[in-house]
Amino acid sequence: MESLVLNHLSFKEKLASVLCVIFSFVILLSGLYDFLIVELEIRELIMSVGVFLLLLSAGLTPKMFFSPLADIWKGEEFASIGNPKIPQLLSLSGIFLCALGLVLRLLL
């Protein structure tokens, strides 16, 4: 339960986390709107969900935004909000869905 508390984050990290989560839901809602109202293009919906998952994953690891690039390239694990496996799973799923959407866009 200790990792769910946001007290260990600075104000700028909390702000980055909240902005990433808000932008991720805006992208998801606009993708749903485009899919349901404008045109029924499944590849656009897949890409919107992929970007949603990537931004949500970034919102769960806000320390990554304010760390030096050398630490990021080392592959060290960053403190995350909640279980550290969740942002990793979300980002891998987002990358897969974005790649699938791109392949569908090229083929169709």
What number is the average pLDDT over the span 96-102?
A: 95
Predicted confidence (pLDDT) at residue 3 exceeds the cutoff of 60: no
Using DSSP, state whether 68 is helix, strand or coil.
Answer: coil
Q: What is the reported pTM?
A: 0.85
Cα dihedral sign for 55, 85, 97, 33? negative
Residue-level pLDDT at 48: 95
Instruction: Summarize pLDDT for 21-77 with one digit per residue, the tens.
Output: 999 999 999 999 999 998 888 988 999 999 999 999 999 888 888 877 777 677 666
Please state the domain count of the chain: 1
Residue-level pLDDT at 79: 73
What number is the average pLDDT over the span 83-95?
A: 91
- In angstroms, the CA 65 to CA 61 distance is 8
Burial class, 37, CB count within 10 angstroms (exposed 0-12 / middle 13-18 / buried 19+)? exposed
- Structural domain range at position 36: 2-107
